[in-house]
Structure 1
Amino acid sequence: MIDHLGLQCADAAAAAAFYERVFAPCGVREMMRYDTPHGPVIGLAGPAGQPQLWTSPLEGPGSRPVHLALAAPSRDAVDAVFAAAREAGAEILHEPRVWPEYHPGYYGVFFRDLDGNNVEAVHHGFPQG
């Protein structure tokens, strides 16, 4: 169900180093890092090697929405989540599309939940057919 979780941190690099150190016995390690004008976005992975815990800079003062991504079984399911979120009146952050900067075949939609969190439905793979 949960594909990955993103936490906004006062110091994303320090937070990632903390999680890496504390959860080293579980095989947690830094797998990806993207530099942004506000600081790094760091993906931590367990033994499977897929980044599932992300640390990033704060979105703004006093605001720390969580980023929660749920796995979708297909691109059609991502599109259906988009339609349901739009129908429910959710703020759409990014309509469904391919995100090649993450990896080939990454297809996701991003929107805000009722509490302002950044929620995503993501499918890792290429269209069937």
Structure 2
Amino acid sequence: MGAPHCASSLAIRLATSDRAHDRYSCGLHHLAWVAQSRADVDRLHERLVAIGVTVLDAPADYPQYRDGCYALFFADPDGLKLQFVHTPA
């Protein structure tokens, strides 16, 4: 997303149900952001722990996804799975 020719768009709509996030129903189930370095992943993990965010998986290597993949998984207040990931260029 850092290239000058890239564009992105995100639309958010109100849920049609009163229940919390359910990963087996239709909708967004996992959202990821790209980190510039492994150290950035570690720093975010430290900050999330400090403010009491639910960490699903602490920073670790995930070679099954991609060589050099290093990621942190955590949940938003509704239980949506979020990821902060670094992969070398």
- Say whether residues 1:99 and 2:50 are aligned partners: no
Query: Structure 2: how far apart are the matches of 1:93 and 1:124?
Result: 19
Q: Does 1:119 align with 2:78?
A: no
- The TM-score, its normalising length taken from structure 1, stands at 0.47
Paired residues of 1:65 and 1:116 also in contact (CA < 8 A): no
Cα displacement string for residues 95-126 of structure 1 (whole angstroms, at most 9, x for unaligned residues): 10110000110000000012211111100128
Where structure 1 has 5 or more consecutive residues not aligned to the other structure, the ranges are 2-57
TM superposition score normalised by structure 2: 0.66
Higher RCO structure, 1 or 2 (CA under 8 Å, sep 6+):
2
Asked if the contact 2:62–2:69 (Cα under 8 Å) also holds between the matched residues in 1, the reply is yes
SS at match of 2:32: strand
The structure where strand makes up a greater share of residues is: 1
In 1, Cα distance between the equivalents of 2:46 and 2:58?
10
Give the corresponding residue for 1:20: none
Alpha-carbon RMSD across the aligned residues, in angstroms, is 2.3
Which SS does the other structure have where 1:120 is aligned? strand
Contact preservation (8 Å) 1:65, 1:118: no
Classify the secondary structure of the residue corresponding to 1:101.
coil
Task: State the identity as a percent.
Answer: 33
- 4+ residue runs of structure 1 moved beyond 3 angstroms? 62-65
Tell me the distance in 2 between the aligned counterparts of 1:107 and 1:100.
8
Q: Which runs of 5+ in 2 are unaligned?
A: 2-21
| Structure 2 residue matching 1:108: 3-state secondary structure | strand
